[in-house]
Amino acid sequence: MGTTMTRNSLYNAPFFQEMMDTTANLYRLGWDERNGGNISYLLREDELIPYLDVHHVLRTVPMSFDASALSGKYFIVTGSGKYFKNVKRDPAENLGIIRIANDGNSYEILWGFENGGVATSELPTHLMNHMQRLAVDKNHRVIMHCHATHLLAMTFTHSLKEEDFTKTLWEMCTECIVVFPDGIGVIPWIIPGTNEIGEATAEKMKDVRLVLWPHHGVFGAGQSMDEVFGLIETAEKAAQVYTVVCAQGGKKQTITDQQLQDLADAFHVVPREGILNL
């Protein structure tokens, strides 16, 4: 005998809708072909309880690094090998809700990843980034990875020095310095899915919310799905403009460093040091 608790359908949960809409948008924009891209979204227990029995663990999956700083924390996350184009049609196959176990070396699947699926192979980078961003921003919640086309292309044609990369992106659209005054971080090329690439990315995430993986894609971090999507979208738009500018024969004039500083002052943001020459 037990009491039957009526729960709301998980599919109506705001965070669930955001996850479905965002994966669909990333696919629509062509930034997540095949199984490219992954998202993890930190959830509060009180957000989950109306929709899910958090005491019912379906499976436990080991991890090869220490995530004990996140023990007990919940995430909705995209699945390993899953296609963003399929998320809306079959969320339970392509998404999962997990909780980092008390030992910090495994996670518990509470919902989803049907038919034996597991969380994205980039989970080490995601969790290391969450730990790093939470250390500097208590309201941090979302890590997003995608293969934004023009940013990726720029890693073949532009200097990979992050000061140079940041300056070019800032110049390409007036709003850029306001949206990411912290600039963009760039790591060396490293095999994806490894702890090593996670550690290198998280090291950058101390200071920036955007990290470029040369010849691969970009990672974004922020307090909400909209904020992170908007951050990547803005940088990608700047990269697209850069591509068109180059195709049109290169810059004849640009936003000056003084104008960029004036913009930052007008919008009360502090540009990353070492980029503007004033």
Q: How far apart are CA 47 and CA 181, in angstroms?
A: 31
- Look up residue 150 and give its two tokens: 């023009």
Cα–Cα distance measured from residue 234 to residue 222, given in angstroms and rounded to the nearest whole number: 14
| Residue closer to Zn ion (CB basis): 198 or 217 | 217
Measured from the CB of residue 216, what is the shortest distance to Zn ion in angstroms?
A: 6
Q: Is 217 or 222 the residue whose CB approaches Zn ion more closely?
A: 217
Number of residues near Zn ion (by CB under 5 A): 1
Of 4-12, 90-98, 216-224, 257-265, the segment contacting Zn ion by CB under 5 A is: 216-224
Sign of CA dihedral 129, 131, 136, 142: positive
Q: Which is nearer to Zn ion, 37 or 96 (CB)?
A: 37
Q: CB of 41: closest distance to Zn ion in angstroms?
A: 17
- Rounded to a whole number of angstroms, the minimum distance from the CB of residue 254 to Zn ion is 31
Smallest gap, in angstroms, from Cβ of residue 49 to Zn ion? 33
CB closer to Zn ion out of 119 and 177 = 119
Q: Which residues are catalytic?
A: 122
Least Å from the CB of residue 36 to Zn ion: 5
**Angle at the Cα of 61 from the Cα atoms of 58 and 67, rounded to 5 degrees:** 120
Which residue lies nearer to Zn ion by CB, 91 or 217?
217
- Contact between 198 and Zn ion by CB under 5 A: the answer reads no
Instruction: Kindly state whether residue 79 participates in binding Zn ion, applying the rule CB under 5 A.
Output: no
Query: Rounded CA gap, 158 and 146, in Å?
Result: 19
Q: Quick one: which segment of 24-32, 199-207, 217-225, 241-249 binds Zn ion (CB under 5 A)?
A: 217-225
| Minimal CB distance residue for Zn ion | 217
The answer to the question of residue 217 lying near Zn ion (CB under 5 A) is yes
- Of the listed pieces 26-34, 43-51, 99-107, 210-218, which binds Zn ion according to CB under 5 A? 210-218
- Binding segment toward Zn ion, per CB under 5 A, in 13-21, 172-180, 202-210, 213-221: 213-221
d(Cα 137, Cα 118) in Å, to the nearest integer?
28
Q: Which residues bind Zn ion (CB under 5 A)?
A: 217
